[in-house]
Structure 1
Amino acid sequence: MLTLVSAHGPERRQEDGGLAAQLLQLRPALCECAAHVAAGRFDDANRCFERIMGLASLGDGPLQRLSKMFVDGLVRRRLGTTINRALINPSTQQTVRTARSSFIKLLPFLKVAYVAINRVILDAMENEKFVHIIDLSGPAAHPWQWLKLMRAFRRRPYGAPILCITVVHDDGEFLADTSARLRGEAESLDMAFTFHGFLGRLETLDLGNLHDSLAIKSGYARAFSCALQMRRLLLPVMDDAAVQLLLPGGAAASSFVHYAHHHQEMNLIPDDYPSPTTSLSPFTATPSPPQHQHLVLPSPLTQFQLAVRAVSPKVVAIMEQEAASHNNGPDFPARFRDALHYYAALFDALQDECRHRQRQEEERAQVEQVVLGEEIRDVLVRDVVAEPLHRWAARMVSAGFGAVPLSYVAKMEADEVLRKYRLRGYENRGHEKCLLLCWNGTPLYTVSAWRPWSCSQGSAYVSSQQQRMVVPGQMTPTWTWPRQHAAQVHNFTY
């Protein structure tokens, strides 16, 4: 519950108490507004907008700022895609670059994930002399991660490997700066090193030609690092690994047949991959007219997973947001409530960090508006979904990957990041071979690691409570996972 303590006498305390009571109305008002927008009751939604903006104008605390961003997202959703595009006023590349850097500086989550992922890579490459790392983190990438890894490789008793790093990013200046910094570090460490930058994003990669796009080198042991990007490959507001498209016979259908045939030749799509004629398909097979075909096309995520398996990496390390629940389907009000709870925790963490570290408010504002604001618009306007870790695990296993347990050393090194910066309220919690990154007990991000297995094999995922055999191509049963309580009003700091 919100509490505001005043040192200005009973009259001021009464005034502050009234403010707290009014702020408590914001969350239910926002959820009510989301329900109106989802149901198309726009007159009711407009009245809610006015009420919320009136409450949010009472101060400049994190709850008020968050409420304004969520109202902005609802308004954009209410206006529709065409008008929404006209409203978007993109930040300059320099502003985006600065905001991303401030996010890493103000909040420890990415640094913790970098350290844990580096340990996963070091463990996987223990005896390798030729190492190729592919960084698919895009906007979440930072040279800090690879500078630390290069120094760790150099400390190996049997010497550093010949190292190649490929970075995928949408900012050419970032790639140039990263290349210069890593090459300079390699020279100072006397390491053999090459750098390859790919200007683009994960969703723009040519998945049919990763060898050329990512400069895949023969004879190198490969590792993938991907932070906060894979959710962009999930189909909006759908939770199946494939989407059924009604395609006319001809070019589109032929394209998919070529794609599927190519990957089956490489043993990347199992013979029992779900199709409309199998019991595993989420769709009922029905006879189709000759001029139309019902096809189950792999989702962008599935296509990406198949492409990654094709290059036989030793490990794939992933950082993703930890969704509060299963509400990633078409129930928009439920997804809205989960997103509100999730970003309330992040705004609170930012506010707490700025207060205790005496950071400039300008940095905090940039992170909220540019980084988190864009994520909120993704959720509310573009229907980008987040999923809990056990759902990600099911997707990875169904695509032919087995879990790689994060080591005790990875957990200890991640904890050291929090101790070094004397951060309060943060916790790294190990669970089911993975790592949860928490703020005040709420899991916000996860780190997990995976490696591909042969398509002719199944993989047994063993937890402390169950063992299940999984066949590639099948969605796995739900993992045992600690259920979170229903989202409540977050206790913001002032």
Structure 2
Amino acid sequence: VDKVATYFSEGLARRIYRLYPQNPLDHSFSDIIYMHFYEIFPYLKFAHFTANQAILEAFEGRKRVHVIDFSMNQWMQWPTLMQALALRPGGPPAFRLTGIGPPARDNSDHLQEVGWKLAQLAETIHVEFEYRGFVAKCFDDLDASMFELRPNEVESVAFNSVFELHKLLARPIAIEKVLSVVKQMKPEIFTIVEQEANHNGPVFLDRFNESLHYYSNLFDSLEGSLQHKMMSEVYLGKQICNVVACEGVDWVERHETLNQWRNQMGSAGFVPVHLGSNAFKEGYRVEENHGCLMLGWHTCPLIATSAWKL
């Protein structure tokens, strides 16, 4: 509770004195704190597993598959999928991965480094692998022609986004533009993981109260070594500062609920794909919500995983 209060106090102080937090950390440090968060946040591993299962089912029987990932800075999802493809009866398909990520402040080629790591794994497990990384400040700058799509009968496409789409809500029509581009590419499936929270309302007091409740539960749920917890708290503290201190286009952590995303996806012409799970761990809660999965701590939902098709 003390740590949560500290981050919210800092956010309020920054809001009052207009000392807005600078956004991204350099990629090397950002990567480190995210890895610590990944180690002690079981929901994220479970969300990756659930999304991967949906992608595997959508790709069943296909010889060439292509995943386009909006969240390539969170690349830990893909080794598991590649290993599952390698074990597919009849042999693995050719796997193409297009990763999209933000530019690095330290000018490092982060996306290429990720590609090398995955290529080494692919060679070890005998999966034919092709990779391309795109640096993009804004997803709505992307165009379908950039992805060099092959005909549907040759290659099946899936889209994936983990904790990224809510950042588009800071700019008018950005989300509509991105979903329109996705539709043009006719994917077999679009898997989405988002925070299950409502931090995008116009009334600051409501946003503050909602986020205080949400992050208090999130901090309570963290488990693991002291080092993992400390680094994870830095990662979450940056989000809290953004939610509390920022406005306008600087306020990017605009989390919305599954129901709001359901309306957004439905308006764009997508229909839900049913996800199933029997995973359970003491204290953690998995709840099915009209075919989507909400993962939480005790009675508080924290993240939602959903899958969509045209």
Residue 232 of structure 1: how far off its partner (Å)? 0.3
Q: What is the rounded CA distance, in whole Å, between the counterparts of 2:164 and 2:157 in structure 1?
A: 19
Q: What is the rounded CA distance, in whole Å, between the counterparts of 1:311 and 1:173 in structure 2?
A: 27
1:77-92 alignment runs, 5 A limit: 77-80=15-18, 83-84=19-20, 88=22, 91-92=25-26
1:223-372 alignment runs, 5 A limit: 223-235=158-170, 299-323=173-197, 328-350=200-222, 353-354=223-224, 359=225, 361-369=226-234, 371-372=235-236
Give SS of 1:128's match: coil
**Residues 69 and 398 of structure 1: CA distance in aligned 2, closer, same or farther (over 3 Å):** same
Q: What is the rounded CA distance, in whole Å, between the counterparts of 1:403 and 1:89 in structure 2?
A: 33
Residue 450 of structure 1: how far off its partner (Å)? 0.5
Task: Please list the CA deviations of residues 77-109 of structure 1 after superposition, one character each: whole Å capped at 9, or x if unmatched.
Answer: 1123xx436xx4964432211100000001112
Q: What is the rounded CA distance, in whole Å, between the counterparts of 2:23 and 2:71 in structure 1?
A: 24
Query: 280, 283, 302: which one pairs with 1:425?
Result: 283
**Residues 110 and 399 of structure 1: CA distance in aligned 2, closer, same or farther (over 3 Å):** same
Q: What is the rounded CA distance, in whole Å, between the counterparts of 2:117 and 2:217 in structure 1?
A: 34
Q: What is the rounded CA distance, in whole Å, between the counterparts of 1:94 and 1:75 in structure 2?
A: 28
Is residue 2:244 matched to residue 1:380?
A: yes
1:96-111 alignment runs, 5 A limit: 96-111=30-45
Structure 2 match to 1:76: 14
Give SS of 1:84's match: coil
Identity of matched residues, %: 31
Residue 187 of structure 1: how far off its partner (Å)? 1.5
Pick 1 or 2: higher relative contact order, CA cutoff 8 A, min separation 6.
Answer: 2
Q: What is the rounded CA distance, in whole Å, between the counterparts of 1:128 and 1:89 in structure 2?
A: 41
**Residues 183 and 386 of structure 1: CA distance in aligned 2, closer, same or farther (over 3 Å):** same
Residue 329 of structure 1: how far off its partner (Å)? 2.3
Residue 215 of structure 1: how far off its partner (Å)? 4.3
Q: Could you list the runs of 4 or more consecutive aligned residues of structure 1 that deviate by over 6 angstroms after TM superposition?
A: none
**Residues 89 and 151 of structure 1: CA distance in aligned 2, closer, same or farther (over 3 Å):** closer
Aligned residues: 299
Residue 380 of structure 1: how far off its partner (Å)? 1.4
**Normalising by structure 2, what TM-score?**
0.89
Is residue 2:141 matched to residue 1:206?
A: yes
Q: What is the rounded CA distance, in whole Å, between the counterparts of 1:217 and 1:336 in structure 2?
A: 46
Structure 2: 5+ residue runs without aligned partners?
A: none
Query: 150, 166, 171: which one pairs with 2:98?
Result: 166
Structure 1: 5+ residue runs without aligned partners?
A: 1-62, 237-242, 244-298, 453-494
Residue 222 of structure 1: how far off its partner (Å)? 0.4
Residue 342 of structure 1: how far off its partner (Å)? 0.3
Is residue 2:64 matched to residue 1:64?
A: no
Contact 1:132–1:164 (Cα < 8 Å) also in 2:
yes
Residue 306 of structure 1: how far off its partner (Å)? 0.5
Q: Over alpha carbons, which structure has the higher Rg?
A: 1
**Residues 89 and 393 of structure 1: CA distance in aligned 2, closer, same or farther (over 3 Å):** closer
Contact 1:136–1:225 (Cα < 8 Å) also in 2:
yes
Q: What is the rounded CA distance, in whole Å, between the counterparts of 2:23 and 2:178 in structure 1?
A: 31
Structure 1 match to 2:260: 391
Q: What is the rounded CA distance, in whole Å, between the counterparts of 1:231 and 1:173 in structure 2?
A: 25
Q: What is the rounded CA distance, in whole Å, between the counterparts of 2:26 and 2:131 in structure 1?
A: 26
Q: What is the rounded CA distance, in whole Å, between the counterparts of 1:93 and 1:159 in structure 2?
A: 36
Is residue 2:155 matched to residue 1:220?
A: yes
Give SS of 2:206's match: helix
Is residue 2:294 matched to residue 1:436?
A: yes
**Residues 396 and 130 of structure 1: CA distance in aligned 2, closer, same or farther (over 3 Å):** same
Q: What is the rounded CA distance, in whole Å, between the counterparts of 1:321 and 1:199 in structure 2?
A: 24
Amino acid at match of 2:180: L
Contact 1:196–1:215 (Cα < 8 Å) also in 2:
no
Amino acid at match of 1:363: H
**Residues 192 and 93 of structure 1: CA distance in aligned 2, closer, same or farther (over 3 Å):** closer
Q: What is the rounded CA distance, in whole Å, between the counterparts of 1:98 and 1:215 in structure 2?
A: 32
**Residues 173 and 109 of structure 1: CA distance in aligned 2, closer, same or farther (over 3 Å):** farther
**Residues 75 and 363 of structure 1: CA distance in aligned 2, closer, same or farther (over 3 Å):** same
Residue 174 of structure 1: how far off its partner (Å)? 3.7
Contact 2:39–2:228 (Cα < 8 Å) also in 1:
no
Give SS of 1:184's match: helix
Alignment RMSD: 2.1
Residue 405 of structure 1: how far off its partner (Å)? 0.8
Residue 328 of structure 1: how far off its partner (Å)? 3.2
Contact 1:136–1:226 (Cα < 8 Å) also in 2:
yes
Q: What is the rounded CA distance, in whole Å, between the counterparts of 2:134 and 2:96 in structure 1?
A: 13
**Residues 168 and 331 of structure 1: CA distance in aligned 2, closer, same or farther (over 3 Å):** same
**Residues 197 and 435 of structure 1: CA distance in aligned 2, closer, same or farther (over 3 Å):** same
Structure 2 match to 1:154: 86
Q: What is the rounded CA distance, in whole Å, between the counterparts of 1:200 and 1:438 in structure 2?
A: 31
**Residues 89 and 449 of structure 1: CA distance in aligned 2, closer, same or farther (over 3 Å):** closer
Contact 2:54–2:307 (Cα < 8 Å) also in 1:
yes
Q: What is the rounded CA distance, in whole Å, between the counterparts of 1:216 and 1:379 in structure 2?
A: 37
Amino acid at match of 2:218: L
**Normalising by structure 1, what TM-score?**
0.57
